[in-house]
Structure 1
Amino acid sequence: MNNPIFFILPIFCLLCICRTALANECVILLHGLARTEKSMNKMADALTEEGYSVVNFSYPSRKHTIETLAERYIPRALARCGEHETVSFVTHSLGGIVLRQYQQTREIEHLHRVVMLGPPNRGSQVVDAMRDVPGFKLLNGPAGLQLGTGPDSVPLALGPAQGEVGVIAGSRSINLILSLYLPNPDDGKVSVENTKFDGIADHLIVHVSHPFLMKDKEVIRQTIYFLANGGFDHSAA
């Protein structure tokens, strides 16, 4: 009975069971405005290493309105998940708004958890200030113009959270000019306060700027923690 294999085997079996369970969960990654799936590669690699089945989905964020992006591309992302038991999402910026827009008219079957990174859930004052600047629409497309805080704001028209949703907000800006238009603290694109919306399960602030949230080691760790536990690890804050 002193043979080490009797102690190692149960642990090995437990690890196998856990990885099998994670493999039955599909995690869809949705990038932000004017980005591609490559911006989410580091997050995708970390989730794959954890044992999740990952769909790192790319969509033409600058080409259509938020409504069109939701109706055309969320179903395609879900189709790539196949027959997994559960589906979760990790979104960056606009990706979270596209997902919320889709949920206004559709129910996602077997939805487990959602982690949103830097989402403009209450819009961004940067859009209000810059929308009439020459070149803004060209760079950001019709969806970008819908992310303000005015009467035509799509985020402000959306309902409360569906499923277990965790939001990670950045509090560091590397764009001091854009931060002039935002309530402090902010991440250079969205204020911390405007990342919140009704019904979320948890909210976490990290000292990271908007473009780097999805690549930050602590953000990735907290994302994995939320997907597993339904809340963030606030002991590390």
Structure 2
Amino acid sequence: MKSLIAQWKVPSFVHAHTTLRDGGVSVAPYASLNLGAHVGDLPASVQRNRERVQQELHIPSPINWLAQIHSDRVVRIGADGLSDIPEADGAYTDQAGVVLTVLTADCLPVFLASDDGQELALIHCGWRGLAHGILSNAVALFKAPPASIHAWLGPCIGPNAFEVGADVLEAMTALNPNHTNAFKPSGGKYLADLAHIAHTELLSLGLKEISASKACTYTEAEKYFSYRRDGTTGRMASFLWR
């Protein structure tokens, strides 16, 4: 089983992965390492895939799954982990051994870590969450100043594949007028650069160290699930812990 490992300048005891679609037991249209329990796949297959990921990535403790709803909510997770599965689209911890996770299949996973590796956050960024300020909410939970927080932008739908309407452009420019630079007109609609929006937003929040995978989930079909491309499909998971 292979994963995409974040390439960022944080301590080596910080572990940051995004799974690829190969290496699991699910069959089409979820083939093969689907980690989403909400997409119609067989529950037993999802459970087997999750167990395999935990073993292969040497994940040290129970995974703190979220019920993602494209919100701006970021939960704080303490040493005991979560007792339920909250409706949220991001999580923060300052505890060792606590495993953060989000599921994606075109949306952008954003990894955050203080430069000493003691504080971590992992955010599921669709356009709605971004427009409602989820990154600001995540950064606000850090005790470390924004300039000492590092960010890694994982794989997401690329700028030549993410077609949106004027409502998305309006929502993003209402958040930050500079986001207009992330949109290109395309036949009455727009092509949006999700990673560019997140990068601009993080800069506006005071972050200086921002790295990105630049992988496109839509065009790299052999590696990634893509909801925009396939409709019924699986989900990758991103994991972050220390």
Higher helix fraction (1 or 2): 1
TM-score, with structure 1 as normaliser: 0.38
Q: TM-score when scaled to structure 2?
A: 0.37
